[in-house]
């Protein structure tokens, strides 16, 4: 391919919305507003917990506090920086089976005044969590779209 055509293709905007891109990532993705309300949830997350997307969008991350050993959203809001933790779940059955841990990485998105406006969370579970998959690469790409 001729270099000018290659450059032209790279520089042209993709005809995809951000939500379509996020919904086709193999990592669980959730986006919360500054109060912890779900504003986006991808299909991986919907399938893990078998909760319909429209129901998620009426919920808050703290609705799950009885099931989580640690809330990465709260840590991100407190530290105002990216946080990664191995998160354990209690008393919850995932549709994919009895997975009890996920690697969870939360990244803050700031408004023009330096306040956290959104928190993007990426989750990798099961065998991928044990293999040490790095969710920060996925989050860096998503964060660049939102800023």
Residue 41: predicted pLDDT: 94
Residue 93: predicted pLDDT: 55
Residue 129: predicted pLDDT: 44
Question: For residues 103 and 123, is the Cβ–Cβ distance under 8 A?
Answer: yes
pLDDT grade for 133, boundaries at 50, 70 and 90: very low
- Residues forming a β-bridge with 102: 87, 125
pLDDT grade for 4, boundaries at 50, 70 and 90: very low
Mean predicted confidence (pLDDT) in 13-40: 87
* Sheet strand arrangement including 116-125: 38-41, 28-33, 116-125, 101-110, 83-88
**3 pLDDT more than 80:** no
At 56-76, the pLDDT tens digits run 999 999 998 888 888 999 999
Question: For residues 116 and 110, is the Cβ–Cβ distance under 8 A?
Answer: yes
Residue 5: predicted pLDDT: 43
Q: Output 137-143 pairs: Cβ under 8 A, ≥24 positions apart.
A: 138/25, 138/27, 138/29, 139/82, 139/105, 139/107, 140/107, 142/18, 142/22, 142/29, 142/107, 143/107, 143/109
Residue 137: predicted pLDDT: 46
Task: Tell me how far apart the alpha carbons of residues 62 and 71 are, in angstroms, rounded to a whole number.
Answer: 8
């Amino acid at each position: 391919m001729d270099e000018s055509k290659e450059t032209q293709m790279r520089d042209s905007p993709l005809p995809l919305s951000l939500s379509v891109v996020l919904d086709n990532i193999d990592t669980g993705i959730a986006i919360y507003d500054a109060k912890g309300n779900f504003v986006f949830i991808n299909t991986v997350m919907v399938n893990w917990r078998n909760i319909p997307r429209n129901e998620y969008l009426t919920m808050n991350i703290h609705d799950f506090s009885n099931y989580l050993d640690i809330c990465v959203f709260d840590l991100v809001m407190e530290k105002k920086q990216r946080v990664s933790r191995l998160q354990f779940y209690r008393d919850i059955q995932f549709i994919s089976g009895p997975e009890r841990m996920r690697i969870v990485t939360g990244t803050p998105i700031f408004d023009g005044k330096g306040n956290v406006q959104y928190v993007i969370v990426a989750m990798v579970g099961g065998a991928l969590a044990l293999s040490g998959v790095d969710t920060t690469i996925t989050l860096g790409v998503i964060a660049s779209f939102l800023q």
